[in-house]
Amino acid sequence: MALSATLHTFAVQLADVDRGVYQDLELRVARHPSETAEFMVTRLLAYCLEYEEGIAFSDGGVSSTDEPAVLVRDLTGRLTAWIEVGAPDADRLHRAAKRAGRVAIYTHRDPAKVLAPLTGKRIHRAAEIPVYAIDRPAIDAAVAAVDRRNTITLSITERHLYLNLNGIDVSTPITEHRIPTA
């Protein structure tokens, strides 16, 4: 018998000062049995940090090979942003950059280890793909605070994330890296 996904709800008060985005969100996040809690939290933060009209978690989640963890579609249904989480491979990023106008990666892993296998690989518009690293201790603290029902206050100022998750405060910079082309 296959294990089913665990559903988590998040009431999010988002204040992204950098982009001028202020929104109250009610999110239902299904955590697939093969998905780590760290991946799920990073996926949730990527959604909030990229929030705009048309954003959604992919239907397949972590097991999908045809869609990213988070995506953005315009009103016509055209894919405009492909947001990966973790450490995607070069072929996946190459296909993503051809399908969407914008691609970004959010990772809770060591950015050097995420970038190393991508260096010098054939990736369409590789120089335009940002890799955003969120410090692992911050992710670990957030994971420890996650429950089935969650309340989050999330502020972003000067690419610094301030998070209160179920009464636990977490603060971390979001560092941007680029894929080396050679």
Domains of the chain: 37-146 (3.10.640.10)
Q: State the Cα–Cα distance between residues 178 and 39, nearest whole angstrom.
A: 21
pLDDT of residue 109: 96
Write the CA distances from 115 to 37, 130, 182, integer angstroms. 22, 11, 12
Radius of gyration of the chain (CA): 16
pTM equals 0.94
Q: Which amino acid is at 174?
A: I
Q: Which residue has the tokens 């705009």?
A: 52
| Cβ neighbours of 181 (radius 10 Å) | 11
Q: What is the pLDDT along the chain (182 residues), one digit of tens a residue?
A: 567 889 999 999 999 999 999 999 999 999 999 899 999 999 999 999 999 999 999 875 555 568 899 999 999 999 999 999 999 999 999 999 999 999 999 999 999 999 999 999 999 999 999 999 999 999 999 999 999 999 999 999 999 999 999 999 999 999 999 998 86
